[in-house]
Structure 1
Amino acid sequence: MTPELIGFAGILVLLFLLTVGVPIGVSLALTGVLGLMVMLSPEAALAKAGVVVFEVAQKYELGVLPLFLLMAHLCFAAGASRDFFDVAARFIGHRRGGLGLAAIAGCAGFGSISGSSLATVATVGSAALPEMRRAGYNPGFAAGALAAGGTLGALIPPSGALIVFGIIAEVSIGKLFTAAIIPGFSQALFYMIAIGVLCWFRPELGPPSARVGWRERMRGLLGIIDIIVLVVFVIGGLMIGWFTPTEAASVGVICAFILLGLRGGFNRANIADSFAKTLTTTGMLYLIIMGAILFATFISVTGLADLMSRAVMAIDGGPVVAIMVMTLLLLVLGSFLDGLALMLLTTPIFLPIAIELGYSPIWFGIFLVRTMEIGFVHPPLGLNVYVIQSIGKDIPLGKIFRGIVPFLIADFLHLAMIIAFPMVTLWLPSVTAG
């Protein structure tokens, strides 16, 4: 069996392990070590595994991951879970489709502290879905808007997916965060346009709710000003070069502790819970990163990435056509793979191809996460859809998936914009120090 066929067999083994429910990190590590045993020797494979574990454990850049997670959990403990949606609803809820627009704004705001798609859809959805249904919104439309809006948490900084990609691909996390700002907020804008168009032609989907006075609006805005200042200070300082990513995360944790105290939540229970959740998630992600590096090493040794690179480069039509083929493959894989598994499986294969085609690794990271986000809402996996369905248990899955369709169209248009105009992603990093 040729090395390339061994590499392909390794991918099939990994897909099988993921399909039967083996955790992502274990699947990646097991496939990588077994593959290296076949390609090299058992001794060399085990030695490489030991080196990877040691290097990951002492990698300075990895400190950014638990710190941003701790910042997010401290903000949750401070009561920042539903605030963004509540404030947006006060300002625009009285308009046609206004609560849908507020849900998207709430997801964007919450995503700026959570860094997770599933956390965003679960938290904002639990606050927004009951409000939208009480206001007479079509259940499928409301659930679809929230499922789509939740994906913003995977892209808007500080994104956990971008942190993991930056570590695996050895790309500046600061530049990835900066590059994600315009695509993240333009994605939210595309969703808002979709809601506006739908409610213009079918007003019954999202009827207006009662208007709230300016006094109540300003009171709500003042309630989240501390969270806004924290996010702008941390991410803005990172963009303009005040902090490195690890320093920005450290400053964010200190500010989150202060915010927790100002909001009256500084107690042993909240702090212990925040640390426990941070350690649990960090341990899982460290295992995933170790496994991903072992799997990437195996793929590199087999030469499969080089073979696929030559095949893609041979496609007649130029780099854009090659990227479109890559996009289709990612969307197909994303229909049955978890988003993080998709990213870790394809990065060692597709990143060298994108660089060979002349694309920036920064652009590729945003493109990959953006494509990965679509997998959170398109069938049959659509994890965000199942999260929303767990909140609105009486809404059939089929109705939610139908409600997703207009937002999927917005997703495809937005992804096409990122592919056709790379400067949407690359302009901001080029003019900042981040």
Structure 2
Amino acid sequence: MTLLPIALLLLGIAIGIPVALAIAIAGLSFFLTSGAMPPELFIQRIVAVTQSFPLLAVPLFVMTGIVMNYAGITGRMMQFAEAMTGHWRGGLAQVNVLLSTLMGGVSGSANADAAMQSKVLVPEMTKRGYDVAFSSAVTASSSIISVIIPPGIGLILYGFMGNVSIGRLFLAGIVPGALLCIAMMLLVALLAKRHGLRPAFDAPMPWPQRLATLRAACLAMTVPFGIVFGIRFGWFTPTEAGAMAVLFAVIVGLLYRELKWSHVVPILEQTAQATAIILLVICAAQAFGFYMTWERIPETIARAMLALTENPILLLLIINLLLIIVGMFIEGTAAIILLAPILVPVIASVNIDPVHFGIIMVLNLTIAGVTPPLGTLMFTTCAITGVSIGAFVRASLPFYALLFGMLMLISYLPELSLWLPDFRMN
């Protein structure tokens, strides 16, 4: 009966039960069949996690992104991105990549970024003669950047579940995120030349106009830097940083005179909906995690992995392969919540820095989101743009090669992740 909850979890996911419910059913089966504790403890474990102060950062950063959309800040950021890169070959595709990087400091969610750009940029790219499959592939692949640029929600969840400093995780994501942006823009330039894509503008936009778009967008772009430096210098905690980001977004929206009282209800509704999905998974995973701890499953898995190899290089390769496979079938947020408590002790035992591993884990599981068979970013983008899965996958092959190459680079060069947090927080 020890493995019954795991079997039920896998069965539930396989037959299409929502992940949160599959996890809850699996956890409940343990409390009903163990005989070692009252079933009421299942409810207690679910409720207890909602009292966690760090988790308050999730709805706050979700609300920040939604408020910025209503405040017109997102549109101004897109105008700035187009002003800087629109004259390049494949200019709108470059705008797509750069906007995802800028949006990383706003929404912190790859799914939100992919959905927004699929609705806004892909139709415009299609009008300019871009192949819709290529546009969809750029949109889904570039949205991955947003999860490791602070304040990525995945980093917050990993820090909470793995007991790792969220402030250090935020700092650790800046350099890998910037490198990923540069690499993807270079790939887009290469593909644009191959496919004969034209720039959005015939000539570079004059610098006075570029500076005007920068002034309009600069307030929004200070959010991630304000969060990182505020946490670093002890002005506020990561959770309090979320509240400050919401306040800042509201003030900017009022200054731009685009945020209205009529927006309050839809902002709260969208925040509640997005937060409920995440927290339902977290609550269910807390009960399931109690079962795994009681049965000492994390320790068993750790011993099994270490029995294969204690070489950090080979162990990272094994874990990366495991995460890619898991991420193909389970949404990244749920996978982080389930696997972080298991894998953090494993990597710590071979002296792999948990902050470095957090960047690897979040990036890995998000990359898996653009791959078949069940990648959520792939389905989100294709559902909005109307492109077939087969066409999307064919157009994404160069991006897959780049993303997995960058994953290996970040995995085996920990300095890319750790240089900034070690420099600023030691």
Paired residues for 1:396-407 under 5 Å = 396-407=388-399
Q: Which residue of structure 1 lines up, in the alignment, with residue 91 of structure 2?
A: 98
One-letter amino acid matched to 2:23: L
Paired residues for 1:1-400 under 5 Å = 6-7=2-3, 9-39=4-34, 41-43=36-38, 45-47=39-41, 49-200=42-193, 202-204=194-196, 206-210=197-201, 211=203, 212-316=205-309, 318-393=311-386, 395-400=387-392
One-letter amino acid matched to 1:236: F
1:419 and 2:411 are equivalent in the alignment: yes
- Compute the displacement of 1:262 (Å): 0.8
**Structure 1 outlier segments of 4+, above 4 Å:** none
SS at match of 1:335: helix
- Measured against aligned partners, the alpha-carbon deviations of 1:376-412 in whole angstroms (never above 9, x if no partner) come to 111122222222223332x333222111111111111
SS at match of 1:137: coil
- Compute the displacement of 1:42 (Å): 4.6
> Whole-Å Cα distance in 2 between the matches of residues 322 and 302 of structure 1?
24
Query: Is the 8 Å Cα contact of residues 157 and 336 (structure 2) preserved in structure 1?
Result: no
SS at match of 1:413: helix
> Whole-Å Cα distance in 2 between the matches of residues 411 and 189 of structure 1?
12
Q: Structure 1 residues 125 and 284, CA, compared in 2 at 3 Å: closer, same or farther?
A: closer
- Compute the displacement of 1:420 (Å): 0.8
- Compute the displacement of 1:366 (Å): 1.4
Q: Structure 1 residues 251 and 307, CA, compared in 2 at 3 Å: closer, same or farther?
A: same
Query: Is the 8 Å Cα contact of residues 105 and 221 (structure 2) preserved in structure 1?
Result: no
SS at match of 1:432: helix
Query: Is the 8 Å Cα contact of residues 111 and 157 (structure 1) preserved in structure 2?
Result: yes
Query: Is the 8 Å Cα contact of residues 105 and 223 (structure 2) preserved in structure 1?
Result: no
SS at match of 2:173: helix
- Compute the displacement of 1:416 (Å): 0.6
> Whole-Å Cα distance in 1 between the matches of residues 92 and 258 of structure 2?
29
> Whole-Å Cα distance in 1 between the matches of residues 185 and 233 of structure 2?
29
- Measured against aligned partners, the alpha-carbon deviations of 1:399-432 in whole angstroms (never above 9, x if no partner) come to 2211111111111111111211112112222122
Q: Structure 1 residues 192 and 308, CA, compared in 2 at 3 Å: closer, same or farther?
A: same
> Whole-Å Cα distance in 1 between the matches of residues 238 and 174 of structure 2?
15
Unaligned runs of 5+ in 1: none
Q: Structure 1 residues 423 and 35, CA, compared in 2 at 3 Å: closer, same or farther?
A: farther
Unaligned runs of 5+ in 2: none
> Whole-Å Cα distance in 1 between the matches of residues 114 and 227 of structure 2?
23
SS at match of 1:158: coil
> Whole-Å Cα distance in 1 between the matches of residues 167 and 22 of structure 2?
29
> Whole-Å Cα distance in 2 between the matches of residues 337 and 432 of structure 1?
35
- Compute the displacement of 1:137 (Å): 2.4
> Whole-Å Cα distance in 1 between the matches of residues 395 and 382 of structure 2?
12
> Whole-Å Cα distance in 2 between the matches of residues 15 and 337 of structure 1?
10
One-letter amino acid matched to 2:27: G
One-letter amino acid matched to 2:40: L
Which stretch shows the higher mean deviation, 251-260 or 339-348?
339-348
- Measured against aligned partners, the alpha-carbon deviations of 1:156-196 in whole angstroms (never above 9, x if no partner) come to 21111122222222222222212111122222222112213
RMSD: 2.2
Q: Structure 1 residues 173 and 267, CA, compared in 2 at 3 Å: closer, same or farther?
A: same
TM-score by length of 2: 0.92
Query: Is the 8 Å Cα contact of residues 84 and 105 (structure 1) preserved in structure 2?
Result: no
Q: Structure 1 residues 188 and 319, CA, compared in 2 at 3 Å: closer, same or farther?
A: same
Which stretch shows the higher mean deviation, 405-414 or 296-305?
296-305
Q: What count of residue pairs does the alignment treat as equivalent?
A: 424
> Whole-Å Cα distance in 2 between the matches of residues 50 and 252 of structure 1?
33
- Measured against aligned partners, the alpha-carbon deviations of 1:190-237 in whole angstroms (never above 9, x if no partner) come to 21122133334x142x32232333343333222212212333323332
Query: Is the 8 Å Cα contact of residues 71 and 256 (structure 1) preserved in structure 2?
Result: yes
Q: Structure 1 residues 199 and 30, CA, compared in 2 at 3 Å: closer, same or farther?
A: same
> Whole-Å Cα distance in 2 between the matches of residues 98 and 108 of structure 1?
15
Query: Is the 8 Å Cα contact of residues 33 and 46 (structure 1) preserved in structure 2?
Result: no
Q: What is the percent sequence identity of the aligned residues?
A: 28
- Measured against aligned partners, the alpha-carbon deviations of 1:12-68 in whole angstroms (never above 9, x if no partner) come to 31122223333333322321232244345351x532x34434432322222222222
- Measured against aligned partners, the alpha-carbon deviations of 1:226-277 in whole angstroms (never above 9, x if no partner) come to 2123333233322343321122122212211211211213432212221222
SS at match of 2:393: helix
- Compute the displacement of 1:358 (Å): 1.6
Q: Which residue of structure 2 lines up, in the alignment, with residue 428 of structure 1?
A: 420
> Whole-Å Cα distance in 2 between the matches of residues 60 and 332 of structure 1?
32
1:410 and 2:402 are equivalent in the alignment: yes
